[in-house]
Structure 1
Amino acid sequence: MDFAFATAAAPGRANEDHLLLSAEFAVLLDGVTQLPGLDTGCVHGPVWLVRTLGAHLTTALSADPAGGLDDVLAGAIEAVCRDHAGTCDLTNPNSPSSTVAIVRERGELLEYLVLCDSSVVFERGGRVEAVSDGRTGDLLHYDRESVARVRNRPGGFWVASTAPQAAGEAVTGSVPLDGLSRLLVCTDGISRLVEFFGSTWPSVFELAERQGPRAVIDAVRVQERVRPELLTQRGRRFKQHDDATLALRLR
């Protein structure tokens, strides 16, 4: 697979997204921004987590091209836990975490995995489908204590952190490569263009193909500046700016 990509940190912050591309797969991670003063029990932050998890995922996907994506992710989370078990409290529910989106060519199929709120979007036969894991949108309360209670718990939401079993809760599937005309992988810093600002996935594809992936990020930033009041869902107010990353498969 050949990809064009772009990534940009939210203004004034370090970029907690991490993208890895190869001829057979793409891995996109979005580190969860930690609230100020939050006790995570960990000496590391989201940037360390996404880089470390990404390294383990890339190694595993390269070594075993036929392994199930959920098994690969579970093994990578276990490996990350071993990397910082000696310095950090892995029982702390606020340990650094990340969303995960993976696509892989395997034979005649495109396989995908999505954990938490990044997205895989593809078009086949003129029909666009966006694959995401929207369980964070179903939460009734978003204060730090409520989120910690349901994070990586049945009935709550799942994210890559210190629980390898979260991989088994990811959204997985496959589609035939034959007839697959468009494909992109993105973080929620990109999907907000559709989910909050009224764009459509066909329009996102067209903009990325016509002007390049960076133009999609620029479009997001414009909307964040001029219509921040739209970043509200079920009474939850989302941050005005977010890290934004997308990878577009070239035709």
Structure 2
Amino acid sequence: MQISFATAPGHPGRPNEDLVLAGPDTVLVLDGAGLPDGTATGCAHGVPWFVRTLGTELLHRALDGTRPLADCLADALAATARRHGPACDLAHPMTPTAAVALLRRTEDRAQWLVLADSTVLVDLPDGLRAVSDHRVGEVTDRQLRDLAHRLDGLPAADRRTLLADAQRQAMNTPDGYWVAGPDPAAAHHALTGTAPWPDLRSAALLTDGAARPVDDFATTDWPALLTLLQDTGPQSLIDHTRTLEHTDPHHTRWPRTKTHDDATAALLRP
């Protein structure tokens, strides 16, 4: 496999909470759930540590091609929870979490897993499939409507804090959305799929920050985005996304809680 990727923080002064890891037959992309500055998480380590730890644990398990990807993720979540230590309160509503995108070759099959709002694109003879779990976005849209009277007139930072708190109340619940956090059971709510490896022409793994041109801005579609990746590389997609974001600095054309988000794109060619 040939894997190329690019990643960029949403803001130069903040750490990039995305992560890319790869092995001979496996690539994964994690997107740590960013929180407003000053938010207490109950964790002594923080989101970047959680993402790095979970990514390492997950890659180690996914390299064993005999185990289902959801089981690999569940075990990695349990191992990461143990590594937090007694100084961390994993019951805290703001404990670190992440979205997960994973693709693996096992013998003659391509296998993928998506948990939360990252995306896996798989280009197959019967068409391009985009695998993404938009439940978190649906929850956010519902909360924006329900909280409209409280959000109106608030400064941007206060809006983000109020929405983040509301989102976390819906996290890993049957009527909410599922994300990689302290509960290993979330892994079995991931979207998974498989296809013959010889049929795979290319694939891409994207955090939601890199998928904005399709998911949030609707300025292009998945086939055109994959063509951009293939023709000019992952960095060009991130640059294109940043250009779009700069045209709407006040979030009037495309309502969103952050002008820029951490963005990561990985392109896989068999």
TM over 0.5: yes
What is the identity, as a one-letter code, of the residue corresponding to 2:65? Answer: P
SS in 2 for 1:230: coil
d(CA) in 1 for partners of 2:168, 2:223:
36
Which residue pairs with 2:155 in the alignment? none
How many residue pairs get matched? 246
TM superposition shift of 1:223? 0.3
Instruction: Map residues 209-248 of structure 1 onto 2, 5 A cutoff.
Output: 209-227=230-248, 228-232=251-255, 237-248=256-267
User: Match for residue 31 of structure 1?
Assistant: 32
Q: Give the drift of 1:218.
A: 0.6
| Inter-CA distance 196–3: structure 2 relative to 1 (3 Å threshold) | same
- Quick check: 1:153 aligned with 2:173? yes
Match of 1:205 in 2: 226
How far is the alpha carbon of 1:174 from its aligned partner? 0.8
Deviation of the 1:199 alpha carbon = 1.1
* Match of residue 14 from structure 1: 15
Matched letter for residue 2 of structure 1: Q
* CA–CA distance in structure 1, aligned partners of residues 164 and 11 of structure 2: 24
Query: Counterpart of 1:183 in structure 2: which amino acid?
Result: A
1:231–1:239 CA contact under 8 A, matched in 2:
no
CA distance in 1 between partners of 2:226 and 2:111 (Å)? 20
Partner residue, 1:249: 268
Q: Residues 2 and 23 of structure 1 are in contact (CA less than 8 Å); yes or no, is this contact kept in structure 2?
A: no
Report the identity percentage: 38
- Does residue 171 in structure 1 map to residue 191 in structure 2? yes
**189-198 or 76-85, which deviates more:** 189-198
The one-letter amino acid of 1:242's match is: D
Q: What's the offset of the Cα at 1:92?
A: 1.0
Whichever residue aligns with residue 100 of structure 2, its letter is: V
CA-CA distance at 1:126 after TM superposition: 5.6
The amino acid that maps onto 1:120 is: V
Taking structure 1 as the reference length, what is the TM-score of the superposition?
0.93
Amino acid at match of 1:246: A
For 1:201 and 1:17, the matched residues in 2 are separated by: 21
Distance 2:105 2:231 in 1: 25
- 2:60 maps to what in 1? 59
AA in 1 matched with 2:221: T
Q: For residues 76 and 225 of structure 1, do their structure 2 counterparts lie closer, same or farther at Cα, with a shift above 3 Å needed?
A: same
SS of structure 2 residue aligned to 1:249:
strand
- Residue 38 of structure 1 and its aligned partner are, at CA, apart by 2.2
Please tell me whether the aligned partners of residues 120 and 184 of structure 1 are also in contact (alpha carbons under 8 angstroms).
yes
For the residues of structure 1 that align with 2:16 and 2:91, how far apart are their CA atoms? 26
Distance 1:195 1:61 in 2: 28
Q: Distance in 1 between matches of 2:98 and 2:230?
A: 28
Alpha-carbon distance in 1 for matches of 2:136, 2:189: 13
- Cα separation, 2, equivalents of 1:231 and 1:52: 34
**Aligned equivalents of 1:151, 1:225: Cα separation in 2:** 31
- Gaps of at least 5 residues in structure 1 are none
Output one character per residue of 1:160-181: Cα deviation in whole Å (capped at 9) or x when no partner: 1111100011111111223221
- 1:141 is the counterpart of 2:143: yes
Can you give the 5+ residue segments of structure 2 that lack an aligned partner in the other structure?
145-162
After superposition, the CA RMSD in angstroms is: 1.5
